[in-house]
Amino acid sequence: MQQNHKPLLIIDSRYTLYDMRQKKVYKYNTVLQKSFLLLQTHFQIQVIFCHTKPNTNDFFYNEFQRNFQGIDSKKLSIQELKEISFQNLELIVITHNYEQFTLNQNYQLYYFSSISQQLDKKRELELKYYQQNPKPKFHISHILQVMSYFSKSENPFCVGYYFYPKKFNELIQFQTLISNNHFTYLPIDFRFVNKYIEIDLLFHKIMDIYKNKEINMKQNEVQLFQQNYDKFIQENAQLPVIDSIECLQTLIQRDELNTKLESILASPEFQNVVKEHHIKIMTPRQIVFNNIDQVQDLSNLEYPLIVKTKQGALTANCHIMAIVVNEKGLKELFKQQQFKGELILQQIINHNSIIYKIYQLGSKVIVQKRKSIPNIEINNFKFEEGFYVFDTQKDLFKNVSECLKQVDEGIHECSNEAQLQKQMELLSSIISKEFKLHLFGFDIIGMNQEFYIIDINHFPGYKNVENAIELFEQLFIQSENPFCVGYYFYPKKFNELIQFQTLISNNHFTYLPIDFRFVNKYIEIDLLFHKIMDIYKNKEINMKQNEVQLFQQNYDKFIQENAQLPVIDSIECLQTLIQRDELNTKLESILASPEFQNVVKEHHIKIMTPRQIVFNNIDQVQDLSNLEYPLIVKTKQGALTANCHIMAIVVNEKGLKELFKQQQFKGELILQQIINHNSIIYKIYQLGSKVIVQKRKSIPNIEINNFKFEEGFYVFDTQKDLFKNVSECLKQVDEGIHECSNEAQLQKQMELLSSIISKEFKLHLFGFDIIGMNQEFYIIDINHFPGYKNVENAIELFEQLFIQVSKK
């Protein structure tokens, strides 16, 4: 028998199939079955039930067996789980309780919390959250999120969605929320979601949380949902949303909506197109009616009227309307509880039982002709009370017919339908643009040459629209971020980059955080952007030694398996910067090269490296004849150690001997000639193909007879204020800055040098310093990925770099 080499995906499943509040099994089995089938192309799957309560465990296990036949599952105690072993060499475990889930063999663990919704260990985050919020039950949607994550390689575009059950089931009917080869669909519940979730687009009917009768949420849950949603949108300002709550709020008040529609219908954009037509689209005459006892002018209206609430959505009564045929009926209607407060009184438009349903789905406009309510005449109304209440969400023809003595069952065709359809399609496109909506519907009614638009509804039912799934996916693609930048930065650098919006997804780039302690071969990115070498900074990175090793191993494996992936900048190239003596040798070679010398030979200035030697031990005889005091002393390794930023000024041999007694100056060191430079330093930044030169204030000149410490040396940290720091060792400090007389020529050399360094070291993000005076200047070290906070348009330069590197 051929051995199956698929990795084993173990799903620790407890609260995945059962609604703890409603005490019933979820009805999402269709989605889960398809997700399991998709995962089985990558993995063997085993679902493990190991709840601490045996009866509960039995229930969950039996429900799973009944609903998901063909998926391997086990029922284990916690102890059995710890003792079990698996034949597969590659195990991937998904759990929301990683502390209990331990196996007696190696495996990759993905902690999946219903709070963090991220495959990672976020215990501290979870505990902090639980101090302020009740612990939610593990939800079936979390298993769907796990499945979506592991299907990412096949489904590159991730659509986050929220729909209440009725809408969810409606969309599922035509396969809209089931992951396929192009899209992953990720359910989101903003009662739990936070900033760690990663999606490319938000697809929703979030306003429905205010429908108390249809949504099983308590008031505090609705408030928590809204707060978390607001926070999520604020933190993901560039995330495409279909459609934003701000835009949807313009549809709620029927009188305000009517005013805006009147403006659109009167606009030159609409009128210029329809002026040659013999038909007209308008809004029905209407007023806002406050109180039956308040005198109001109804002269603009004629009975029969339609009466509806002023708020057109999100209330229990917004779909309840009434037909009123006389003043008596209006007074009686106002005695009904659901017709209190501000109402809309609107002229009834008879329309021969024809209604045109217009659906906008992305850029597509669909027009469907349907049977509508019969014409309503006062003398055909059969209720003496003068009014009739009905629900617009029920069968309208049947419903409204109840109030009529005789009903005309026929449908009278419109004679100028072709012209009408052109106007309806144009009107829908203008509404989409003006209201910034992608998913909406409205009705057109009328007859002869006069037609009327009735309300606008967000996200109507598209069940009668052909190819709806393809239209939805086209809509998603329109807002897709096609280029995915994977990144790793330690917190300090991450916060620095976020300041100028570098890691926030936009219309051109998706940014995906990667932690190589956990990442594996299933992740897909177009480019890697990083400061991965910083994992060796023990003081700044909160990683244990074994985590650092795992990180390095997984990174190496990832790069090996993705050899064609563009990387900015590769670890191999960065390693050439670490040893200061080797770096100095390579810089000397570049400065002596014909490419550099041919350009600078006509200039009267010269760029060099400072004189320096590698010094091993004070007791070892070494030739210092090439150097003169004062000297700068630094570690040979220029990065990734605790002491690499610690340096010392030494003014005599006594100071050198005393310095070597200090713990941080053991081992191989660089002794370098101090270059006085009149307190001017040139900071050169390379960002892709762009070279930026900035002039800054630097340390004061250092003379031996101005040094105030008898020990003969002074230790300082280069990451702190250098001028203030170094001034501490001087008797007198010159506060002035002495300008360079030949700065234009110097700048040309610095820009050329930076470009050559970029090519020779194969680096895109680095910086170096130039110091000196008169005709002699010196290059000091090279630093990978410096802070670009003072560089204008940094985000545009980074994005240009991503494009340039990806095309190579």
649-674 pLDDT, tens digit per residue, is 999 989 998 998 888 888 889 999 99
Residue given tokens 């949607």 in the structure block: 141
Q: How confident is the model at residue 3 (pLDDT cuts 50, 70, 90)?
A: very low
What superfamily would CATH give domain 576-784? ATP-grasp fold, B domain (3.30.470.20)
Give the mean model confidence (pLDDT) for residues 283-310. 84
Is 721's pLDDT higher than 60?
Answer: yes
pLDDT of 303 higher than 90:
yes
Mean pLDDT of 65-89: 76
Burial of 337 (0-12, 13-18, 19+ CB in 10 A): exposed
Q: Return d(Cα 458, Cα 262) in angstroms, integer.
A: 19
For the four alpha carbons of 367, 369, 373 and 377, in that order, the dihedral sign comes to: positive
pLDDT digit string, tens, across residues 557-578: 888 888 889 999 999 999 989 9
Fold matches, 483-569 and 576-784: no
Q: Which of 371, 334, 368, 366 is nearest to 352 (CA)?
A: 371
158-172, 286-300, 364-378, 694-708: segment of lowest average pLDDT: 286-300
DSSP 8-state secondary structure symbol assigned to residue 386: S
pLDDT greater at residue 776 or residue 409: 776
Band (224; pLDDT cuts 50, 70, 90) = confident
**What percent of the chain has pLDDT above 70?**
78
Q: Residue 148 and residue 81: Cα distance in Å, rounded?
A: 26
Reported as a pLDDT band with limits 50, 70 and 90, residue 582 is very high
Helix (H) or strand (E) holding 313: none
Mean pLDDT on 768-786? 90
Omega within 30 of 0 (cis) for the link into 630: yes
Cα separation of 416 and 420, whole Å?
A: 6
Task: Give the pLDDT score at 128.
Answer: 41
User: Are the beta carbons of 423 and 434 closer than 8 angstroms?
Assistant: no
Q: Indicate the SS3 state at residue 443.
A: strand
Domain boundaries, the chain: 8-242, 250-458, 483-569, 576-784
> What is the CATH architecture of 483-569?
3-Layer(aba) Sandwich (3.40)
Per-residue confidence band for 13, with pLDDT thresholds at 50, 70 and 90 = low
pLDDT over threshold 90, residue 697: no
The highest-confidence range among 476-490, 669-683, 727-741, by mean pLDDT, is: 669-683
Helix (H, G, I), strand (E, B) or coil at 391: strand
Looking at residue 539, its pLDDT comes to 61
Q: Model confidence at 388, in pLDDT bands (50, 70, 90)? A: very high
pLDDT bin (cut points 50, 70, 90) of residue 67 is: confident
pLDDT in tens, 106-142: 655 544 443 333 333 333 433 343 344 433 333 444 4
Q: At what angle do helices 140-150 and 29-39 cross, to 10 degrees?
A: 30
Helices (H) and strands (E) in the chain, counts: 23, 35
Question: Torsion over CA of 297, 298, 299 and 304, rounded to 10 degrees?
Answer: 180
pLDDT-derived band at 588 (thresholds 50, 70, 90) equals very high
| Structure-model confidence comparison of residues 543 and 593, the more confident one | 593
For 246-273, what is each residue's pLDDT tens digit? 999 999 999 999 999 999 999 887 887 6
Q: What is the mean pLDDT of the chain?
A: 79
The model's pTM: 0.49
pLDDT for 496-533, tens place per residue? Answer: 887 766 776 665 677 777 878 765 544 668 899 999 98
CATH 3.10.350.10 fits 250-458, yes or no: no
Which secondary-structure segment (H or E) carries 530?
strand 527-530
CB 132 within 8 A of CB 224: no
Whether pLDDT at 617 is above 70:
no
Asked if residue 189 has a cis previous peptide bond (ω within 30° of 0), the answer is no
Q: Confidence band (pLDDT; 50, 70, 90) for 487? A: confident
Query: Cα–Cα–Cα angle for 160, 162, 163, nearest 5°?
Result: 140
Give residue 535's pLDDT.
Answer: 82
Q: What is the pLDDT of residue 704?
A: 92
Highest mean pLDDT among 161-175, 517-531, 696-710: 696-710
Asked if the peptide bond before residue 268 counts as cis, ω within 30 degrees of 0, the response is: no
- Asked if the model's pLDDT at residue 426 lies above 50, the reply is yes
- Phi-psi bin for 680: left (phi > 0), alpha (psi -120 to 50), beta? beta
Residue 92 pLDDT class (50, 70, 90 cuts): low
Dist CA 653 CA 651 (whole Å): 7
> Highest mean pLDDT range out of 585-589, 600-604, 694-698?
585-589
pLDDT at 127: 38
Residue whose C-alpha is closest to residue 543's, from 478, 491, 481, 609 = 491
Pairing mode of beta strands 286-289, 483-488: unpaired
- The amino acid at residue 364 is K
DSSP for 477-537 reads HHT---EEEEEE--HHHHHHHHTTTTTS--SSEEEEE--TTT--TT---SEEEE-GGGGG-
Please determine, for residue 395, whether its predicted confidence score (pLDDT) is greater than 90.
Answer: no
Task: Give CA–CA dist 648/718, Å, rounded.
Answer: 10
Lowest mean pLDDT among 73-77, 313-317, 369-373, 600-604: 600-604
Q: Are 7 and 46 in contact (CB under 8 A)?
A: no
**Cα torsion 621, 626, 628, 629: sign:** negative
The pLDDT, as a whole number, for residue 600 is 75
pLDDT of residue 320: 93
Per-residue model confidence (pLDDT) at position 150: 54
Letter string b/e over residues 670-703, b meaning 16 or more CB atoms within 10 A of that residue's CB:
bbbbbbebbbbbbbbbbbbebbbbeeeebbbbbe
CB distance 47 to 71 below 8 Å: yes
pLDDT category, 83, cuts 50, 70, 90? confident
Section 493-497 average pLDDT: 82
